[in-house]
Structure 1
């Protein structure tokens, strides 16, 4: 048993060293952006659709807006659908309420399993940070409307999830939301980021 543990520890250390070496040699893409049209974003956010002007330089595949999806090479798609401010009426008796100097918000996202095998959601991580002037967020527990990302998604199915956070009001209302994949299909490439406004 001890020898088996030692072999496992050595193998893990070797894998980490190999990953670090590979990262130093350059990152490969792990998927592609699937950008929502102006009309689709308007439906999601309630804004008026605008005519899109050709950009001088295309956005990186990992820099996304609310409504955009990121499809991994194995067919799994992650889409941030909405960022909303949490109102006072959304807290229960035992929920974590933010300080008066903070803005509480909820990020909504969908995970569609376009691969051929079950997707373990426990092997994913998500983070939110302020985008205006930086700013660390604090995770909140707000039971009403919350949908924790956990368990598995079967092939061909879509799950909808939320994350609840607070951000100091001094750091504005723009946030960057990042999804990090840590399963066997994970890559050392940059993680996809969604930038959006708390509304």
Structure 2
């Protein structure tokens, strides 16, 4: 009788171990979640990237809204209009080489060229003809007169397709008495009269 009781206790103690070992062998692969397919990366800021790929990957991207100032921008800073056209004044340099038919600056005047960088991050082509510059002296007044110097001229003309970046330039002449510190205002004609005209400050080099 004593031997039967001991055998029963041993049998009872072994049952939970058997149940636990059975649960450990459960196929965990059924609970594994499929991995999400990796998203193809594309550099939306690469000016040399493929245009069709840019439109596919980047045209619908909406940057987080952020306030931006249209005044007090230094040369090299960027302003973005609501349709995605970005503009920055790269620099302003004195012109010393003139073409055969150029009107050279008079004594007491400085001829110079303003270089602009433009990037279209929008969905539609941007008309560069809609852009124009006003250049003013930033020290003691004065406004530059518009001119064109043939050598290296690349004026604001044509259209800029989505995803493309170009560098254009605009020529002016300013009286030397007004110094070399200038403010460049980039105007843009549009049916939207609420567009801001960004102002960039710098020095003629």
**CA RMSD, 1 decimal:** 1.6
| Whole-angstrom CA distance in 2 between matches of 1:102 and 1:32 | 38
Gaps of 5+ in 2: 1-65
Q: SS at the partner of 1:170?
A: helix
Distance 1:189-1:141 versus aligned 2 partners, 3 A rule: closer
Please tell me whether the aligned partners of residues 82 and 107 of structure 1 are also in contact (alpha carbons under 8 angstroms).
yes
Are residue 98 (structure 1) and residue 105 (structure 2) matched?
yes
- Aligned residue pairs total 140
TM-score (norm 1): 0.66
Alignment map for 1:108-147 (pairs within 5 Å): 108-147=115-154
Matched, 1:79 2:88: yes
**Unpaired runs of at least 5, structure 1:** 1-30, 34-59
**Structure 2 residue 198 is the aligned partner of structure 1 residue 192:** yes
The 3 A distance-change label for structure 1 pair 189 and 149 is: closer
Q: How does 1:2-151 map to 2 (within 5 A)?
A: 33=68, 60-87=69-96, 90-151=97-158
- 1:125 Cα offset (Å): 2.0
Say whether the 8 Å CA contact 2:70–2:199 is kept in structure 1. no
Contact persistence 1:32–1:70 (CA under 8 A): no
TM-superposed CA distance for 1:190, in Å, is 3.9
Normalised by the size of structure 2, how large is the TM-score?
Answer: 0.64
The 2-side partners of 1:108 and 1:114 are apart by 20
Cα distance change, pair 149–75 in 1 and its aligned pair in 2 (3 A): same
Give the superposition deviation at 1:120: 1.0
SS in 1 for 2:129: helix
CA distance in 1 between counterparts of 2:136 and 2:72 reads 14
Match of 2:17 in 1: none
CA distance in 1 between partners of 2:146 and 2:70 (Å): 27
Distance (whole Å) between structure 1 residues aligned to residue 108 and residue 116 of structure 2:
26
Equivalent residue number for residue 10 of structure 1: none
The DSSP-based 3-state class of the residue aligned with 1:115 is coil
Distance 1:189 1:92 in 2: 36
In the alignment, does 2:190 pair up with 1:183?
yes
CA radius of gyration, larger in: 2
